[in-house]
Amino acid sequence: MDNSKFIVSSTPHIRSKDSTSSIMRDVIIALTPAALMGIWAFGLSALLVIAISIASCVFFEAGFQKVTKQKITVCDLSAVVTGLLLAMNLPASSPFWMPIVGGFFAIVVAKQLFGGIGQNFINPALAARAFLLASYPTDMTAFTQPAGLNSFMEIFGVNTPVVDATSYATPLAVVKSSGAFAPQSGDILNALFGNVGGCIGETCAIALILGGLYLLFRKVISWRIPFTYIATVFILTWAFGRVPYYEIFIGGLMLGAFFMATDYSSSPVTPIGQIIMGIGCGILTSIIRVYGGYPEGVSYSILIMNLAVPLIDRYTKPKIFGGGKAK
């Protein structure tokens, strides 16, 4: 027996099965129901946007790493997640170049220029969405009718008139323009199943909640950010005179709370910090929705809170067992 063959390494000698790629794979699995609902509702153009977005994100990540002579890490699937999330934040009617420009901004500007995975201080997909919204406001708000769901919704007795318009109003725009909007049961069902105008992946609340529950079950995320975020929006919109049980299912809240605000790199690592993050996002979202110029505030709320993360982490360190040594 040749002794020198033994591996010698530091403790611990066993590691958990979770890895970066297994976590990213779980996020992809969790996003799939909402993405499929988006494709069903908005048609093949939605599928095309998703495909182009994922492909360009992976391409830009690999390309940037190749050019800068780094190890190519697209196999960790994080670029796929960014691409998928970006597509879910775009309207189905986006021109083909939009996810490409967005993918470049998300991967190269927001992620790689700051050091790659784990180093981006803002959510790359949301940064790209904000960039596109500021640069191409018309294209970014040209929502189409989710015509694919019309016959499905008839099962519930919800009849949707077919509208021949270039821009289909989102529920939040309707709420904003109507002053005091009283949703009917049909409106709530439409919001739950995604028979409303909006970005590809944000419309079907049920699919997003299912995906979120899967992430909670798999312990990829904790309840802290999504629960406090949604609860804060519920309470504040109610206080501001909106209809809270409608408000939480419309717009990008479910997508934002479960999938965007929980982005590891740009959210706090401390448990108390995560609660502050959720509440902060909830406050900003509610204020923007009710008092802001935009009908929706999820993306900007999360981006603003992203900037506060280093500060939050710094002031919410856990209590040391035994009090720590006096300094």
> What does the binding site for other proteins look like in residue numbers (CB under 8 A)?
1, 3-16, 18-20, 22-23, 73, 76, 78, 116-119, 222, 264-265, 267-271, 274, 317-325, 327
* Least separation in angstroms between CB 221 and other proteins: 9
Shortest distance (Å) from residue 279 CB to other proteins: 18
**Is cis: bond before 12, omega within 30 of 0?**
yes
Helix axes 44-67, 20-42, angle to 10 degrees: 150
Contacts of 43 (CB under 8 A, 6+ apart): 92, 147, 148
Specify whether the CB–CB gap between 167 and 143 falls below 8 A.
yes
Name which of 51 and 72 has its Cβ closer to other proteins. Answer: 72
Shortest Cβ distance from residue 4 to other proteins (Å)? 7
| Residue 22 vs 167, nearer CB to other proteins | 22
Cα 176 to Cα 30, 199, 291, 292: the distances in Å are 31, 18, 9, 10
Query: Distance between CA atoms of 232 and 310, rounded to whole angstroms?
Result: 22
**Shortest distance in whole angstroms from residue 274 CB to other proteins:** 8
Nearer to other proteins, 66 or 317 (CB): 317
Nearer Cβ to other proteins, position 18 or 154?
18
Measured at the CA of 278, the angle between CA 58 and CA 217, to 5 degrees, comes to: 65
Q: How far apart are CA 1 and CA 23, in angstroms?
A: 40
Q: Which is nearer to other proteins, 20 or 150 (CB)?
A: 20
Shortest gap between Cβ of 310 and other proteins (angstroms)?
11
* Residue (of 7, 42, 323) closest to 202 by Cα position: 42
CB of 162 to other proteins, least distance (A): 45
